[in-house]
Amino acid sequence: MSKYIFKSAVELANLIREGKATSSEIVMEHLRQINKHNNQLNALISIFEEEAIKEAALCDQEATEGKFRGPLHGVPVTIKEQFWIKGKRSNTNFKRLKDFVAPEDAVIVDRIRKSGAIILGQTNVPKNLLDYQVAGDIYPEGKNPYNLEYSPGGSTGGGATALAAGFTALELGGDFGGSIRVPSNFCGLYGMKPTEKTVPLHGNIPLAKNANTFILHMVQAGPLARTIEDIELLWKIIVGPHESDRNIPDINWKQPSTNSLSDYKIAWTDGWPGFETSTQISNAIKSLADKLNANGCKIEKKIPDDTLHQDSLKTFIGLFPYIIAQGNPWFVRAIIKMQLYGGFLKGIKKEFPYLIKPMNDGFKLNANHYGEMMLQRSLITQRWENFFNDYDFLICPVAFGPSYKRCKIGSKLNYDGKEMIYINYTWPFVACFNASGNPSITIPLGLGEEGLSIGVQIVGKYWSEPELIHFAKKVSELTSGFVKPEGY
């Protein structure tokens, strides 16, 4: 019988600090859990067993002397493979980057180390981080612990699986088009995409040989966890400016209030114009809205003006090529675009012709077009911020339904009697807030009809994370929260 698997990071840290458990005991138990189940889930693609055992013993020695490195002293964590860990390979499951070895720790990996955490290993990702499944050139395919036939979500799918299966207490993920929120949703977890440009991104992705550009927009690192308290803990560790990235301001974060649910004014929606959700997801969100209303929350079904969501998706798709194709000659960019249209974005030309021109223009890497897209981004962000002047937070879907069966990328997906192109299942519900940069937290609502997890996201205005976390804690008291998958 395991003593420490599925305990929160906060609980484990307290046990170590109070002398009721050792880091070595906790780390060894998590390593046994990994060794027992990882072969069927493929959540971790590298395991630092020797280093973790050695570091745990050092943490234990320091604890006996009353020395604690930080709030995660001796607690096991995992890191998404995209983030640099000094001396370790990082290639985003892409053969062209297979030889990249991180020259140093990413800024936020360094912060996690200095907090006292023990890094157990790197977690699995899809090729180039571009999918809501976990498959690529190098690593075995990642699976959902609630049902192995289903996707764990992407691109932080391996990390979400590792948390849900009890391999780790915390995961560091990254979100570019829902890459924290979708896996959290598919694996019954809490996940947070912080406000853009609040967490340093130095060491965020492997760099191609002779790379000479580094454009990153709509990308943000953030935590995944089984409790909202753990989300708060890891967020506080990684957030804040660093000398390597002058784009990260020193924000005077407001202290969270002591508000009860009755003090909040909340907007909610179970879909967007042209993007409805399944009956199950719609009913789950409506049920949550009813619970909030019964607890005194001022809640209203409301979305911004009819075009803001669509305009946000257009902005995302127009900036998307600058991030994924930068630094490549025209013929390589043409190949990338062709592969997207034949895979991840298959069907988009017919379904959303208004998205094609901004994306094609983006692949030209034209300075004027880039400037136009940045202006559009500034305008949609302001429109979202204006919406949040009237509401504290927005509750909305993360996906059309629960996780879907693993399939060939670009396949049409069927659920609840509706057939849709591949990206429509998830992308329209999450990418809008990458385009705007607003913070969002996913909340698990328990297991749905098929025994798969379902959830919701709560979105706030820029720099609202302390209050967003406080509200999420209140909401989580009304939900089932994380439900452990059977067999782990």
* Domain CATH number, residue 62: 3.90.1300.10
The DSSP code sequence of 257-282 is ----GGG-EEEE-S-BTTB---HHHH
Distance from C-alpha of 32 to C-alpha of 9, rounded to nearest angstrom: 18
Q: Which residues pair with 223 in a beta bridge?
A: 172
Residue 182 pLDDT > 80: yes
94 closest CA partner among 181, 208, 204: 208
The structure's pTM equals 0.98
Residue 212 pLDDT > 90: no
Distance from C-alpha of 182 to C-alpha of 164, rounded to nearest angstrom: 14
Query: To which H or E segment does residue 458 belong?
Result: strand 453-459
Residue 207 pLDDT > 90: no
459 contact partners, CB below 8 Å, separation of at least 6: 393, 394, 395, 396, 433, 438, 439, 440
Residue 236 pLDDT > 80: yes
pLDDT at 185: 98
- Does residue 146 fall inside a structural domain? yes
CB 74 within 8 A of CB 11: no
> Tokens for 71?
């709030």
Q: How many CB atoms lie within 10 A of CB 61?
A: 12
Kindly report the CA angle at 397 between 148 and 236, in degrees rounded to 5? 85
Q: What phi, psi does 283 have (nearest 5°)?
A: -65, -40
- Chain position carrying tokens 């749905």: 448
Q: How confident is the model at residue 211 (pLDDT cuts 50, 70, 90)?
A: confident
Residue 328 pLDDT > 90: no
Residue 135 pLDDT > 80: yes
> Helices in 325-464 by DSSP H: which ranges?
330-342, 348-351, 356-362, 367-387, 427-436
Average pLDDT, the chain: 97
Kindly report the CA angle at 311 between 305 and 317, in degrees rounded to 5? 155
- Does residue 306 fall inside a structural domain? no
Residue 77 pLDDT > 80: yes
pLDDT above 90 as % of the chain: 95
Range of the domain at 182: 9-238
Cα-Cα-Cα-Cα torsion 321, 325, 328, 330, nearest 10 degrees, comes to: -40
- Does residue 117 fall inside a structural domain? yes
- Does residue 197 fall inside a structural domain? yes
- Does residue 275 fall inside a structural domain? no
- Does residue 481 fall inside a structural domain? no
134 closest CA partner among 164, 154, 161: 154
Structural domain total, the chain: 1
Distance between first and last Cα of the chain? 11
Instruction: State the average pLDDT over residues 232-239.
Output: 98
Reported as a single tens digit per residue, the pLDDT across 383-398 is 999 999 999 999 999 9
CB 454 within 8 A of CB 402: yes
Residue 208 pLDDT > 80: no
Residue 332 pLDDT > 80: yes
pLDDT at 229: 98
Residue 245 pLDDT > 90: no
> Measured on CA atoms in the order 280, 286, 290, 296, is the torsion positive or negative?
positive
- Does residue 468 fall inside a structural domain? no
The DSSP code sequence of 68-123 is --STTTT-EEEEETTS--TTSB--TT-GGGTT-B-SS--HHHHHHHHTTPEEEEEE
Reported as a single tens digit per residue, the pLDDT across 153-179 is 999 999 999 999 999 999 999 999 999
- Does residue 356 fall inside a structural domain? no
> Tokens for 158?
């391996």
User: SS3 for 14?
Assistant: helix
Query: Could you give the maximum distance between any two Cα atoms of the chain, in Å?
Result: 66
pLDDT at 214: 82
Reported as a single tens digit per residue, the pLDDT across 420-465 is 999 999 999 999 999 999 999 999 999 999 999 999 999 999 999 9
